Amino acid sequence: CVRAASKLTEAGFTEIKETDPWAEKSMLKPGGKYFYTRAASTIVAFAIGAAFEAGNGFKVIGAHTDSPVLKVKPISKKSAHGYMQVGVECYGGGLWHTWFDRDLSLAGALIVEKDGGGFDRKLVHIQRPLLRVPNLCIHLQTADERSKFEVNKENHLVPILAMMDKELNKTAEGEGGCDERHASELVRLLAAEAGCRPE
């Protein structure tokens, strides 16, 4: 939304608030161009014709863009077989078999507590490999097993973040104390990217 809002402003659009009483404040004028955002994920832009009169009608063009993604769950802390994992849920109609054995990263919005009280929304994008959804080596499967493999989105698509002994050593050194719903390593990574304290 930030980039789109900047482009609209450059093109002569005026930002308004969705919650303002537009009619009462006479905010909208014939020939005007306006936009508003919602939850930093939706943007609505519109232009009013110079000869517009109430009752004339209007035209609407809508667009929707998103991509299949593995979304971090509200309680994401998981582990299995000595590995620290991140609980995720599938969003969208992905070709999930293509997500195996790829370097994965993290991006999205964080809600962080401000020093003076209240909360702020920060966008993060860690531009380096962090996670991986491993696949069984080809020589450990028969051709028949490979052809019959069906992705179980709940069990097979859980990315690995780190080895458990690495996490245990950090906790032993007194670096723990993070939110128990998420792996402390994950919280520390996101906090560092957002420039805030992990809690």
Residue 174 confidence (pLDDT)? 47
Q: How far apart are the first and last CA of the chain?
A: 28
Looking at the whole model, is its pTM more than 0.75? no
Judge whether 135 and 158 are in contact, CB under 8 Å: no
Look up residue 113 and give its amino acid.
E
Among 9-13, 128-132, 147-151, the minimum mean pLDDT is found in 147-151
CB-based burial, 4-43: b 16+ in 10 Å, e otherwise? ebeebeeeebeebeeeeeeeeeeeeeeebebbbbeeeeeb
pLDDT class for 147, splitting at 50, 70, 90?
A: confident
Polymer length in residues for the chain = 199
CA 84 – CA 15 distance, rounded (Å) = 44
Which two three-digit tokens encode residue 164?
């458990």
Residue 125: strand, helix, or coil: strand
CA 141 – CA 138 distance, rounded (Å) = 6
pLDDT class for 169, splitting at 50, 70, 90?
A: low
